[in-house]
Chains A and B, each alone.
Chain A
Amino acid sequence: MIILFYIFSIFIIASSTALLFIKNLIHAALMLIIALVCIAGIFVLAGADFLGMAQIMIYVGGVLVLVLFGIMLTNRTPELQYPSSASRNKVFGILMAIFILVPLLLLIHKIDFDHLVHQQREVIGASTLQQIGLLMMTKNIIAFELAGILLMVALMGASLLALPTMKSIKK
């Protein structure tokens, strides 16, 4: 299992770091797809099988397809180049990332997380699908309904934003 974890995490870190330097936007979106699919693999390794499949369906199959549409619709060069101009504040950005990363790593190194744990959900355990379904309908029902309302509002907002601009109807 740890070998799989190492393989997935190498892919994730490699493709995310490549996102910092890739000029072509379509290639960047494909790198992000690799990262998200491998993150779904990490979810499955942590026992969250339904969440891994939901991640692939929603993120890769929904959000990233939408991002690719956005890239192709906002492309200015007539030939298929999809450039994004070079970044300017590379040093500052990487410095900020290191400033966040190093304290986090030190903190995680200090704490012993497995001290109180006797039994963790392995991959070859029970599937979480039925339990998530039951919990969603009983304990998390409020969040479920609110998420439905949020999605409906987002849908209405996105279609409103995508309408062609209408002339004012003031008399």
Chain B
Amino acid sequence: MGHIPTSYFLYLAAFVFAIGLAIVIVRRHAIMVLMGIELMLNAANINLVAFSRTDHQLLQGQMLAIFVLVVAAAEASIALALIINVYKHFNTLQLDELNHLKD
């Protein structure tokens, strides 16, 4: 029944954010990049919820986290519609091959 210090949540959120960032940079498939973006958004949500633990009246951290969740869901749906259109046009989702604007 221990009390979890706030810094533990922040350490976890920092790790998840860094790993999400590494996924976005390292992976070449568009859907993997989308997964990295979702991980970064979740890391921000962990931070918000950790700081909202002491805000008993207004729950501002949790309210912002709910809206981050909503925006992330909307953005993921648009991203997937775009990804499917890109696949229809280029027949590939490897980001290195989507270079038709290059000379």
A interface, CB within 8 angstroms of B: 1-2, 5, 9, 12-13, 16-17, 19-20, 25, 28-29, 32, 35-36, 39, 42-43, 45-48, 50-51, 54-55, 58-59, 62-63, 66-67, 69-71, 73-74, 76, 84-90, 92-94, 96-98, 100-101, 104-105, 108-109, 111, 113-114, 117, 119-122, 128, 131-132, 135-136, 139-140, 143, 147, 150-151, 154-155, 157-158, 161-162
* Given contacts A48-B49, A76-B92, A135-B63, A84 and B74 within 8 Å (CB-CB): no
Q: Which chain A positions have C-beta within 8 A of B12?
A: 9, 12-13, 42
The A-B contact count (CB < 8 A) is: 241
Contact of A43 among B22, B49, B92 (CB under 8 A): B49
Q: What B residues does A96 contact at CB under 8 A? A: 21-22, 25
**Of A16, A94, A114, A155, the contact of B16 (CB 8 Å cutoff):** A16
Count, chain B residues at interface, CB 8 A: 72
**Also in contact, A5 and B53, with CB within 8 A (given A67-B35, A157-B81):** no
Which residues of B are in contact with A by a Cβ distance under 8 Å? 1-12, 14-23, 25-29, 31-32, 34-36, 38-39, 42, 45-46, 49-50, 52-54, 56, 58-59, 62-63, 65-67, 69-78, 80-85, 87, 91-94, 96
Of A17, A85, A120, A162, which one neighbours B19 at CB under 8 angstroms? A17
Q: Is the CB of A20 within 8 A of B22?
A: yes
B78 near A161 (CB under 8 angstroms)? yes
Chain B residues near A84 (CB-CB < 8 A): 27-29, 31-32, 94
Given contacts A19-B36, A97-B18, A147-B67, 10 further A-B contacts (CB under 8 A): A16-B19, A16-B20, A32-B35, A32-B38, A51-B49, A76-B91, A93-B22, A94-B26, A132-B59, A161-B78
B94, A101: Cβ atoms under 8 Å?
Answer: no
Residues on the A chain within 8 Å of B93, using CB: 74
A4→B54 CA distance, assembly (Å): 20
Known interface pairs A67-B80, A89-B26, A96-B22; A13-B16 also in contact (CB < 8 Å): yes
